[in-house]
Amino acid sequence: MLFNRHMFKYYMKYSWMYLLGIAALIAVDYVQLWIPEFLGDIVNIINDKPLDAEAQMQHILIMILVVAVVMFGGRMLWRFTLFNASGRVEAGLRHEMFLKSERLSQKYYHENKVGSIMSWFTTDLETIEEYAGFGVVNIVDAFFLGILVIVKMVQLDWALSILAFIPMVLIILWGFLIETFMSKLWLERQKNYDELYDFSQENFTGIRVIKAFVKENAKLHAFAKIARKNQLKNVSYARISVIFDGLIEVIIAAIAAMVLGFGGYAVYATVIGEYMVIFGHTIEIDAGGLVTFFGYFDTLIWPMIAMGQIVSMRSRAKASLKRVQAFLDAEEDIKNPENAYVLENVSGKITFNHFSFSYPDAPVEVKSLKDVTFEIEAGETIGIVGKIGCGKTTLVNSLLRLYNVDKGSILIDGHDIMDCDITSIRNAIAYVPQDNFLFSDKIYNNIAFSDRKKDPISIQNAAIFADVHDNIAAFKQGYDTISGERGVTLSGGQKQRISIARAYIKESPIMIMDDSVSAVDVKTEETILRNIREKRKGKTTIVIASRVSTVSKLNRILVLNDGMVEAFDTPENLLNTSPTYKRMVYLQELEKEVEGGAK
C-alpha cells in the first residue's frame, strides 16, 4: 500500500472496511485450498475403488459445495468493502484537492495550466484508487495466499516444492529491478497527457476564434503532433508492461511443465517401487498427491501474477501520488494571519497608503503600481480611469486580497487588510470582474450565486437594477434559461449586466465594477449609473471605466498614469489638474463629432 500523511488518514478512516475486506479475502484464500485436496482424494478414490467410494464421493461433493458457497459470500464481501473503501479514498482526496484549489493564490494558476491540474483530478486519482482497491487485493493474495500455498506444498513434499519456488524468487527480483523504471515511464506518460489536456482545453475554449480565423486545419495538425507524442509514450509504457507480464507468464508456464514432468516421473517411480531422490530426499507420491500438489501450484500462479501486477500498479500509483501530493502540499500564499480581525459592520472607507505592487512572476524592478496614495470616504461613488495597462484592475484585485501586499498599505475602515480575515474582506465587497464570467447554469442561479436562498422578487429587482430584466423576460424560459459555458448563449452586454445583478444582490457595503458597462449602449449605461447613485446611496462604489462618460457624474475620479496617481478629484477640477483626464475628454468629444458628421 501507499503510505504518506495524505493517504494514511483515509486508511484509518476506512480501516473497518479494509480490515473486514482483508479478513474475508484471507478466509476465501484459506478455504479455496481445500479444493486441491478434494480433487486428489477423488483421484485416489477412483484408483483404489474402496467399498465406501460412493459415500466418500458424496461427502467430498457436499464439502466442495460448502466451499463454493463460502467463497461466493467471501468474495462478495471483500469486493464490496475493499472497492468501496478505495472509492471513498479517491472521493476524499478529490474533495481535499478541490478545497486546496480554492485556497491557492492567483500565482499558482499562473504557473500551472488548467489542463495539468484537471489530469491530477482525473487520471492520477483513478490510478491511486486502483491501487488502494485492487492493489490491496493483490498484496493480500500475494502474501497470505502465497504463504498458505507454500506451507501446504512443503507439507506434501518439500523437495518438489523447491521447483515451484523458483519463479517466485525470479519474479520478486525482476519486480525490484523494473519498478523504478516503470514509475519513471508512467510519470513521463502523465506529463505528456497533461500537455494533451492543456492543448484540448485551450482550443475548446477558443473554438470561436479558431473558426473565425479559419485555423481548423492548423490546429488539427498541431493536435495530431501532440497526440502522436502521447501515443508513443503510452505505447512505450504498454510495451514494457506487456514484456514484464509476458516474461512472468513464460516463467510460470516453464515451471508448471517442470513440475508436471518431475511429478509425473515421481508418481511412476513410486508405482514401480524405484523412488525418485532429489537433494537426498526420497519422493514418495501417488497420483492423487500429484493432482493435489499441482492444484496447489495452480493456485500459486495467481499470487505470482499478482506480484507482477503489484509492481506495475505500484509504479503508476507512486508517480500519480507524487503529483497529487505536490498539489496538496503546494504553498498557500494567501492565508489568514494568526488572530485575524473579522470585519463587521463595514462602513466602506478605503485607504491606500503609499501602495506599490509587483506581480509575483515579474522582475522586482517592474512595478504595476507605484506609491499609490488616496482615500475613499464611506458611501462615496468614485471612478477610476487611465490608459490600458496603467494598473486599474491590479488596484482592485489587491483590495480583494487576491495577492499579498505590504502591511499598512491598504486599509478598510482603518483596518489593515493583511491583519483581517480574508473571508470577511471578500464578504464586504461585491465584485463585477472584467471578464464577466458566468457559470453554465440558469440565469436565476447565476444572479443568486452569493445566496441561493434569495427570493424571486430580489432576483428580479437585481436584474432591474442592471437593466437586464426585459432581456431575460424576452427569453422563452425567462430566468430558467441556461446561460451555457461561460455565458456563451448570451451577448456581451447581457453577460455584463447579469454580472452586475449578481454583485448588486449581495448588498455589500463596497461594490467594485471593473469596466462592467463597456459592452452596453449609452442609454443602458446611464440607467445603470443612475441606479447606482439612487439604490446604492450611502454605500461605497468603485467604477473602473474606459469611457469618461461612464464616470463623469460620480463624486470623484481617480486618474492613473503609468501605475501612479496623477490626480484624484471631482470631474470638474480634473479638467484643470489632470492632463490624462483632459485628453480622454477631448478624444471622447472628438469621437462624438466624427460620429455626428458621419450621420
* Domains of the chain by start residue, with CATH: 5-328 (1.20.1560.10), 337-428+553-599 (3.40.50.300)
* Residue appearing with cell numbers 512595478: 367
pLDDT mean over 316-336? 87
Question: Which has more pLDDT, 204 or 120?
Answer: 120
Q: What sign does the CA torsion over 465, 471, 474, 478 have?
A: negative
From start to end of 154-236, where are the E strands?
A: none
Helices (H), 436-512: 443-447, 456-465, 469-474, 492-504
DSSP string, 311-366: HHHHHHHHHHHHHHHHHHTS--SS-PPTTPBPP-S----EEEEEEEE--TTS-TT-
Nearest to 467 by CA among 546, 545, 520: 520
Q: What is the pLDDT of residue 366?
A: 75
- Whether pLDDT at 595 is above 60: no
Highest mean pLDDT among 301-315, 418-432, 437-451, 485-499 belongs to: 418-432
Arithmetic mean of pLDDT, 322-345 = 88
Q: What is the pLDDT of residue 144?
A: 87
Strand, helix or coil at 76? helix
* Cell numbers found for residue 284: 514418495
Q: pLDDT per residue over 2-55, tens digit each?
A: 667 788 889 889 999 999 999 999 999 899 889 888 888 888 888 878 778 888
CB within 8 Å of 520: residues ≥ 6 apart: 467, 493, 496, 497, 528
Q: Greater confidence, 598 or 270? A: 270
Q: Is residue 372 pLDDT above 50, yes or no?
A: yes
- What is the pTM assigned to this prediction? 0.74
Residue 37: its pLDDT value, please? 86
> Could you tell me where the DSSP H helices lie in 113-157?
114-119, 125-130, 136-140, 146-156
Q: Which three cell numbers stand for residue 498?
A: 447579469
Q: Mean pLDDT, to the nearest integer, of 522-541?
A: 90
| Beta-carbon count within 10 A of 76 CB | 12
Dihedrals phi, psi of 203, to nearest 5 degrees: -75, -35
Report which of 575, 518, 565 is spatially closest to residue 384, judged by C-alpha positions.
565
Question: Residue 215: which H helix or E strand, with range?
Answer: none
Q: Lowest-confidence range among 178-187, 215-224, 255-264?
A: 178-187
Q: With 60 as the cut, is the pLDDT of residue 598 above it?
A: no
Asked if pLDDT for residue 596 goes beyond 50, the answer is yes
Residue (of 174, 150, 138, 98) closest to 293 by Cα position? 150
Indicate the pLDDT class of residue 599, thresholds 50, 70 and 90. Answer: very low
DSSP line for 283-312: E---HHHHHHHHHHHHHHHHHHHHHHHHHH
Question: Which pLDDT score, from 0 to 100, does residue 347 have?
Answer: 92
- Residue written as cell 472584467? 434
Q: What is the pLDDT of residues 184-240, one digit of tens each?
A: 777 777 778 778 877 887 787 777 778 777 888 888 888 888 888 888 888 887 888
| Residue reference for cell 448588498 | 507
Integer Cα distance of 379 and 539 in angstroms: 4
pLDDT grade, residue 438 (50/70/90)?
Answer: confident
pLDDT greater than 70 at residue 375: yes
| pLDDT tens by residue, 284-317 | 788 888 888 888 888 887 887 777 778 778 878 8
pLDDT tens-digit profile of 391-410?
A: 888 899 889 888 888 899 99
**Residue 551: which residues within 8 A CB-CB, separation 6 or more?**
382, 383, 384, 385, 543, 545, 557, 571
Say whether pLDDT at 597 is over 60: no
3-class SS at 164? helix
Backbone angles phi, psi at 383, to 5 degrees: -115, 155
Q: d(Cα 129, Cα 136) in Å, to the nearest integer? A: 10
Q: What is the mean pLDDT of the chain?
A: 85
CA distance 97 to 330: 11
- pLDDT, residue 175, reads 67
- Residue 218's pLDDT is 86
Ranking 181-190, 539-548, 588-597 by mean pLDDT, the lowest is 588-597
pLDDT at 167: 67
pLDDT category at 362 given cuts 50, 70, 90 is: low
Please tell me the predicted confidence (pLDDT) of residue 485. 67
